[in-house]
Amino acid sequence: MPKKYLDKNVLESTRERIQMIFENFENVYFSFSGGKDSSVMVQIANEVAKKMNRKFDILYIDLEAQYRYTIEHVEEIKQLSQIRDFYHIALPIALRNAISVLQPKWICWEEESKHLWVRNMPEDSINIHNCPFSWFKKGEEFEEFIVQFADWYQKKYGGKIACGIGIRTDESLNRFRTIAFQNKKLTFNNYNWTTQLKFNEKHINAYNFYPIYDWKTEDIWGAVSKLDLKFNYIYELMYKNGLSIHEQRLCQPYGDDQKNGLDQFKALEYDTWGKILNRVNRSKFWKYIL
């Protein structure tokens, strides 16, 4: 269980990082995806927040084309004791469609495509009919939305705010760069695992922080076991279907990397598979994953 980092293991270090954030920021939210990394981060944050008598918020962007077990896990996380507001976003956001040359992007929760939706609209979601964000426009990019949300959140509460992101540097070079190159970013109190955000090319009083940046995949599952944390059961099915813990991915299914795992829907949730097939326009290469 957790590897040693200097004189502490990564679990102890993460608890200290989250505690430091709660001590220095009055308003904190965590970006949650339903995946293993953000799930562990949020549950550890709940443990720390409970000891400190603090509350925090959650931003969950629902990309519609999800595994059933992912949605069940999202509902589990909503029950954590220290959550103040859970922003369940089900807005028509534009996403990459790497399986078609005719439709390079698709829009989740698009009203015009309601007959093709993979799932029904969540009843407690923020959607196009009750959207409180005056700045939102249909077809916004995912990356654009999350920065706009941070700016909105900061203006709502005032002062400096913090957003926890559950990324780990060993997953990709880009994620390593986000943490490592401190001279190319502004940080909070020189902590390299924080980054001050920009909106419209100007820095705003908001910081991303990455409390599990130095974890390995083994640490994630070690924490789930040692702390008896809740987890998305779809990972168990992926493992039984032959995917190692290092190959398992959760994201919108039609991305450049994620398209390689589309066949998992067929094996793991056959009733969802047909809806996934019909949700977006497909290129002639689709036949190779059938």
The 10s digit of each residue's pLDDT in 199-216 is 998 999 999 999 999 999
Query: For residues 180 and 217, which has the higher predicted lDDT (pLDDT)?
Result: 217
Range in 23-32, 143-152, 253-262 with the lowest mean pLDDT: 253-262
Residue 96 has pLDDT above 70, yes or no: yes
What distance in Å separates the CA atoms of residue 90 and residue 43, rounded to the nearest whole number? 23
Query: For residues 31 and 290, which has the higher predicted lDDT (pLDDT)?
Result: 31
- pLDDT confidence of residue 195: 95
Q: Which residue has the tokens 């992912």?
A: 70
Residue 134 has pLDDT above 90, yes or no: yes
Residue 284 has pLDDT above 60, yes or no: no
Residue 65 has pLDDT above 50, yes or no: yes
Question: Given pLDDT bands bounded at 50, 70 and 90, which one contains residue 285?
Answer: very low
Q: At what angle do helices 217-227 and 36-52 cross, to 10 degrees?
A: 50
Predicted TM-score (pTM) of this structure:
0.90
- pLDDT confidence of residue 241: 86
Question: Which amino acid is residue 257, in one-letter code?
Answer: D
CA 4 from centroid of its chain's CA atoms: 26
- pLDDT confidence of residue 191: 93
Residue 2 has pLDDT above 70, yes or no: no
- pLDDT confidence of residue 288: 43
Domain 4-289: give its CATH code.
Answer: 3.40.50.620
- pLDDT confidence of residue 259: 67
Question: Given pLDDT bands bounded at 50, 70 and 90, which one contains residue 283?
Answer: very low
Percent of residues, the chain, with pLDDT higher than 90: 69
Sheet harboring 126-127: ordered strands across? Answer: 126-127, 83-90, 56-61, 27-32, 161-165, 202-209, 194-199
Question: Given pLDDT bands bounded at 50, 70 and 90, which one contains residue 108?
Answer: very high
The 10s digit of each residue's pLDDT in 71-87 is 999 999 999 999 999 99
Residue 49 has pLDDT above 60, yes or no: yes
What distance in Å separates the CA atoms of residue 276 and residue 161, rounded to the nearest whole number? 37
